[in-house]
Amino acid sequence: MSGYKIKPWEELTITDDYMFKLVMRHKRFCKRLIEKILNIRIKDIHYLEEEKSFKFKYDSKGIRLDVYVEGDDTIYDIEMQVRNYGDQELAYRSRYYQSMIDMDSLARGALYKELRPSIIIFLCPFALFDKERHIYTFRNICREDKTLELHDGATKIFLSSQGRANDVAPDVKAFLDYMNGLPAADDFIKEIDACINETKTNHEERVSYMTYEMKMREAHDDGRAEGRAEGERNMEITIVKRMLLKHKTLNEIIDAVDWPKERLISFAKENGLPFSE
Residue ranges of the domains in the chain?
9-201, 202-277
Predicted confidence band of residue 243 (pLDDT cuts 50, 70, 90): confident
C-alpha 204/C-alpha 202 separation (Å) is 6
- In sequence order, which ranges of 84-126 are alpha helices (DSSP H)? 87-107
Do 176 and 168 contact (CB within 8 A), yes or no? yes
What is the average pLDDT across 251-269? Answer: 80
Predicted confidence band of residue 4 (pLDDT cuts 50, 70, 90): low
pLDDT digits (tens, 9 = 90+) for 20-72: 989 998 999 999 999 999 999 998 888 876 545 444 333 334 445 667 787 77
Q: How far is CA 74 from CA 116, 120, 154, 260, in A?
A: 6, 11, 10, 60
Do 93 and 66 contact (CB within 8 A), yes or no? no
Predicted confidence band of residue 270 (pLDDT cuts 50, 70, 90): confident
> Which residue type does 55 have?
K
C-alpha 77/C-alpha 272 separation (Å) is 52
- At 138 the three-state DSSP class reads strand
> Which residue type does 246 have?
K
| Number of other CB atoms surrounding residue 271 within 10 Å | 11
> Which pLDDT score is estimated for 275?
72
> Which pLDDT score is estimated for 219?
61
Predicted confidence band of residue 110 (pLDDT cuts 50, 70, 90): low
Predicted confidence band of residue 188 (pLDDT cuts 50, 70, 90): very high
| Residues whose CB falls within 8 Å of the CB of residue 230, separated by 6 or more in sequence, listed in order | none
Residue 155 CA neighbour count, 13 Å, CB half: 17
What is the average pLDDT across 12-22? Answer: 91
| Residues whose CB falls within 8 Å of the CB of residue 182, separated by 6 or more in sequence, listed in order | none
Longest dimension (CA), the chain: 81
Quick check: 146 pLDDT over 70?
yes
| Number of other CB atoms surrounding residue 51 within 10 Å | 13
C-alpha 54/C-alpha 68 separation (Å) is 11
Give me the chain's average pLDDT, please: 83
CA 19 to chain centre: 15
Which has the closest alpha carbon to 91: 52, 124, 132?
A: 124
